[in-house]
A and B are shown apart, each in its own frame.
Chain A
């Protein structure tokens, strides 16, 4: 890997994917999920993938496109309501779904990405999501312990990057991408516009390139948004 030019092609990315990998993905309802990397994942033929991301997308949008193929083994997420196929797979026992409160999931990913060992929270106390989670008592108050999350591979979508992998995002397409980008053993960013080092204003960089391993040029959004259908 050339640290100062991380741009690779999709054939190379395919070779990084493997069966049973844990794959973290950025995006919220498909907004900010990397479209060309999703197609690359589908083309790679991998199966029994353990997915971790905000939601299951829509059947034709974002990670939803991969989930409907039945090649995901499990999904840690906050929401699957926009992808009925994910619900069917879950009810059939073909997809193991673990629900996490949305911001807690984000924070678990953040924790994993920044070298911390999890955190304590009261969110979820007294609910069915507290089941099987360690309870920690400090000064007579009880908290749930939330474990950190990392992935074998993390995929994100950025609007602009330089060749070192410094990333800038696009409005609400930022969402959990900056956290996901930090939590991959290998992080791959799909980028709309890649520029030379020095061409970005250092003040506007959201994710420093140190967290990014590879980049691919984006083919652009290739699905119809739900409000366009």
Chain B
């Protein structure tokens, strides 16, 4: 289980490119920085008012220097602090190149559900709706199926959605999909999984990209 999360995070880290401003959600996305090549210049944005956070300090963590999950971080050269209105101003106005968020369900045309399971899990929406609205690209990370085996990539989201048509890519332990013009394209199989595995565990219809066989 822990392993699967690391596999997904490692694959997702390849989506972070030199020059990007990136926002990482809680859960699997928060594991990504460990896998990013040191030579890549990137600034991570955190909703609580920090652009340019770095790793957890080894000594003397500061209770007033935290990420959005409340854990201590550091600030990199060129980093800045600002209030929440400015923070979400960046997010809504399209200044974030890439948001990588955990997901509960994604459907065929890129609708995202990731904030509530009515009657069960009600953590609250946090900044997800605005990241989904404003980020130039949004990658959804999740395990391919629920614990009971039901698919999470569905024809239609049964959970309350976060935002419509916002996901541009889905990465699971089985496969990578791109959402193009409201269609799902399977672009990559993850190590150890076959096309049959993906077909058997995906409810949504999808096209198979020609690049899959390259």
Contact = CB atoms under 8 A, between A and B. Distances in A.
Contacts of A110: 85
B133 A171 contact: no
B38 to A, nearest CB: 24
A98 B92 CA distance: 21
Given A29-B69, A128-B160, A101 B129 contact: yes
Interface stretch (B29-37, B42-50, B170-178): B42-50
Interface in B109-161: 116, 122-130, 133, 160-161
B62 interface: yes
A126 B47 contact: no
Interface in B73-98: 75, 81-85, 87-89, 91-92
Interface residues of A, number: 52
Contacts, number: 144
Given A77-B124, A106-B88, A227-B71, A127 B130 contact: no
Contacts of A215: none
Interface residues of B, number: 43
A151 to B, nearest CB: 16
B70 A225 contact: yes
B64 interface: yes
Nearest to B65: A171
A102 B63 contact: no
Contact of A102 (B65, B75, B88, B161): B88
B185 interface: no
B162 to A, nearest CB: 7
B17 interface: no
A44 interface: no
B85 A174 contact: no
Interface stretch (A15-23, A66-74, A78-86): A78-86
Contact of B72 (A30, A77, A176, A227): A227
Given A103-B88, A107-B85, A172-B50, A127 B161 contact: yes
A103 B72 contact: no
A29 B88 contact: no
Contacts of B49: 28, 172, 174-175
Contacts of A79: 123-126
B63 A225 contact: yes
B164 interface: yes
A172 B71 CA distance: 11
Contact of A172 (B64, B124, B161, B164): B64
A202 B91 CA distance: 29
Contact of A227 (B61, B125, B130): B61
B190 interface: no
A103 B70 contact: no
A173 interface: yes
B198 interface: no
A178 interface: yes
Contacts of B75: 171
A78 B87 contact: no
Contact of B66 (A58, A129, A172): A172
Contacts of B4: none
A29, A126, A174 — which one has the most chain B CB atoms within 10 A of its CB?
Answer: A174
Contacts of B128: 101
B122 A29 contact: no
Nearest to B128: A101
Given A31-B63, A171-B64, A179 B85 contact: yes
Q: Which of A78, A104, A221 has most B Cβ within 10 Å?
A: A78
A123 B134 CA distance: 9
Of listed B84, B88, B163, residue having the most chain A CB within 10 A: B84
A226 interface: yes
11 contacts: A28-B49, A31-B48, A87-B122, A102-B47, A102-B130, A103-B87, A103-B130, A124-B129, A171-B50, A171-B81, A174-B83
6 A-B pairs with least C-beta separation: A103-B88, A81-B123, A79-B124, A29-B70, A176-B84, A173-B64
Interface of B: 46-50, 61-66, 68-72, 75, 81-85, 87-89, 91-92, 116, 122-130, 133, 160-164
